Amino acid sequence: MALYTPHNWFIYCSRKGLPMLFGLMLISQSTTAYSQSTSIDFTQTQAAELIDKRCENCHNDYIFDGNWSVEDVDVTDISQGKNQRLWEAMLKSVSMGDMPPADKKQLTPEQKASFLHWLETSLNSYSKHNPNPGRATIRRLNRSEYANSVRDLLALDIDITQSLPGDDSGYGFDNNADVLGVSTTLLERYLSVAGKLSRLATGVAGASATKKNYLIPKDGPVKNSGVQAFDLRANDQLPLDSRGGGSFNFYAPITGTYDIAGYLNANTANEVDRLDNLRQNYKMTLAAGHHTIGLSFRKQLALTEGVPKVRKGTSYVVMPTQGPSLLDLDFIIDGARVHTIQVPSYYMSSRFSQAAFLRDILEIEVIGPLKTHDEPPPSHSPNDITATASTRKIFVCYPSSETGPASIKANSTQEIDCAHNIMANLANQAYRRPITDSDILPLLDVFKHARADLDFKSSIATSIQALLVSPSFLYIQEPTPANMEPGLVYKINDYEFATRLALFLWSSLPDKELADLAAKGTLREPKVLSQQIARMLSSHKAQSLTDNFAGQWLYLRNLPHHFPDVFEFPKFNIPLKQSIKRETELFFTRILKDNHSIFDFLNADYSYLNEQLAEHYGVPGVRGSAFRKVTLDSQTNRGGLLGQASILTLTSNPNHTSPVKRGKWILDNLLAASPPPPPPDVPALVAVHDGIALSAREQLAKHRADPVCAACHVRMDPLGLALEKYDAVGAFRHTYANQDIDVTATMPDGTHFEGLNGLHSILWDRRERFAEAFTDRLLTYALGRGLEPYDQPTIRKIAKQASTQDYRIHSIIEAVVASTPFNYKKAPEANNENQQIVKAH
Q: In sequence order, what DSSP letters do the residues of 745-801 get, joined into one string?
A: EE-TTS-EEEHHHHHHHHHHHTHHHHHHHHHHHHHHHHHTS---GGGHHHHHHHHHH
Question: Which has the minimum average pLDDT: 48-57, 225-234, 282-291, 394-403?
Answer: 225-234
Nearest to 808, CA basis, from 783, 776, 781, 771: 771
Instruction: Give the per-residue pLDDT at 1.
Output: 41
Residue 581: which residues within 8 A CB-CB, separation 6 or more? 556, 559, 560, 646
Nearest to 584, CA basis, from 610, 551, 549, 615: 551
Do residues 837 and 503 make contact, with C-beta atoms less than 8 angstroms apart? no
Do residues 457 and 202 make contact, with C-beta atoms less than 8 angstroms apart? yes
pLDDT tens profile 642-688: 999 999 999 999 999 999 999 999 999 999 988 777 666 666 666 66
Between residues 229 and 182, the one the model is more confident about: 182
* Angstrom distance (rounded) from CA 224 to CA 313: 7
Instruction: Give the per-residue pLDDT at 3.
Output: 42
The 3-class SS string of 511-526 reads: CHHHHHHHHHCCCCCH
Do residues 559 and 650 make contact, with C-beta atoms less than 8 angstroms apart? yes
pLDDT band at 716 (very low <50, low <70, confident <90, very high): confident
Sheet strands side by side (includes 279-286): 210-215, 359-372, 256-266, 279-286
Q: Does residue 448 register a pLDDT over 90?
A: yes
β partners of residue 476:
139
Q: Does residue 790 register a pLDDT over 80?
A: yes
Q: Does residue 499 register a pLDDT over 90?
A: yes
pLDDT band at 24 (very low <50, low <70, confident <90, very high): very low
pLDDT band at 17 (very low <50, low <70, confident <90, very high): very low
DSSP 156: -
Nearest to 149, CA basis, from 110, 193, 117: 193
Instruction: Give the per-residue pLDDT at 22.
Output: 32
Is 128 buried (19+), middle (13-18) or exposed (0-12) by CB count in 10 A? exposed
Instruction: Give the per-residue pLDDT at 236.
Output: 87
Percent of the chain with pLDDT over 70: 80
Q: Does residue 39 register a pLDDT over 70?
A: no
* Angstrom distance (rounded) from CA 254 to CA 711: 64
* pLDDT (mean) for 766-772: 94
Q: Does residue 235 register a pLDDT over 80?
A: yes
Instruction: Give the per-residue pLDDT at 678.
Output: 67
Instruction: Give the per-residue pLDDT at 570.
Output: 85
Contacts 24+ apart (CB under 8 A), 237-242: 237/292, 237/294, 237/332, 237/335, 238/294, 238/296, 238/332, 238/335, 239/296, 239/330, 239/332, 239/335, 239/337, 241/298, 241/299, 242/296, 242/297, 242/298, 242/299, 242/330, 242/332
Instruction: Give the per-residue pLDDT at 49.
Output: 80
φ and ψ at residue 400, rounded to 5 degrees: -150, 165
Q: Where are the alpha helices (H) located in 39-142, listed in sequence order?
A: 44-54, 84-96, 109-129
Query: How many CB atoms lie under 10 A from the CB of residue 546?
Result: 19
Do residues 164 and 143 make contact, with C-beta atoms less than 8 angstroms apart? yes
* Angstrom distance (rounded) from CA 318 to CA 316: 7
Do residues 447 and 460 make contact, with C-beta atoms less than 8 angstroms apart? yes
pLDDT tens profile 281-303: 999 999 999 999 999 999 875 55
* pLDDT (mean) for 140-161: 94
pLDDT band at 28 (very low <50, low <70, confident <90, very high): very low
pLDDT band at 704 (very low <50, low <70, confident <90, very high): low
* Angstrom distance (rounded) from CA 180 to CA 784: 10
Q: Does residue 31 register a pLDDT over 50?
A: no
CA 515 to chain centre: 26
pLDDT band at 25 (very low <50, low <70, confident <90, very high): very low
Is 663 buried (19+), middle (13-18) or exposed (0-12) by CB count in 10 A? buried
β partners of residue 489:
826
* pLDDT (mean) for 234-262: 92
Q: Does residue 689 register a pLDDT over 90?
A: no
Do residues 292 and 247 make contact, with C-beta atoms less than 8 angstroms apart? yes
pLDDT band at 94 (very low <50, low <70, confident <90, very high): confident
Instruction: Give the per-residue pLDDT at 604.
Output: 96
What is the number of alpha carbons within 13 Å of residue 464 lying toward its C-beta? 33
Per-residue b or e along 454-474, where b marks 16 or more CB atoms closer than 10 Å to that residue's CB: bebbbbbbbbbbbbbbbebbb
Sheet strands side by side (includes 336-344): 242-252, 289-298, 326-333, 336-344
* Angstrom distance (rounded) from CA 752 to CA 766: 15
φ and ψ at residue 376, rounded to 5 degrees: -75, 170
Preceding peptide of 564 cis, ω within 30°: no
What is the number of alpha carbons within 13 Å of residue 834 lying toward its C-beta? 5
Nearest-5° angle of CA 516, CA 520, CA 522?
A: 100
pLDDT band at 318 (very low <50, low <70, confident <90, very high): low
Instruction: Give the per-residue pLDDT at 79.
Output: 86
pLDDT band at 224 (very low <50, low <70, confident <90, very high): very low
Helices 809-818 and 526-538 cross at an angle (nearest 10°) of 130
What is the number of alpha carbons within 13 Å of residue 639 lying toward its C-beta? 25
Determine what percent of the chain falls in helix, strand and coil, rounding each to the nearest 5: 45, 15, 40
Nearest to 644, CA basis, from 688, 599, 589, 606: 606
* Angstrom distance (rounded) from CA 134 to CA 118: 25
Alpha-carbon distances of 770 from 87, 123, 598, 602, 653, rounded to whole Å: 20, 20, 9, 9, 26
Do residues 649 and 562 make contact, with C-beta atoms less than 8 angstroms apart? yes
* Angstrom distance (rounded) from CA 29 to CA 626: 42
Alpha-carbon distances of 726 from 133, 411, 688, 721, 756, rounded to whole Å: 43, 69, 21, 10, 10
Alpha-carbon distances of 80 from 52, 76, 123, 129, 489, rounded to whole Å: 20, 7, 10, 11, 18
Instruction: Give the per-residue pLDDT at 559.
Output: 95
β partners of residue 264:
361
Question: Which has the minimum average pLDDT: 76-85, 256-265, 760-769, 801-810?
Answer: 76-85
Mean pLDDT rounded to a whole number for the chain: 84
SS3 label, residue 172: coil
Q: Does residue 13 register a pLDDT over 80?
A: no
Nearest to 457, CA basis, from 683, 697, 204, 777: 204
Q: Does residue 353 register a pLDDT over 60?
A: yes
Longest dimension (CA), the chain: 95
β partners of residue 298:
242
Instruction: Give the per-residue pLDDT at 695.
Output: 66
Helices 755-765 and 767-783 cross at an angle (nearest 10°) of 70
Cα Rg of the chain (Å, integer): 31
DSSP 353: B
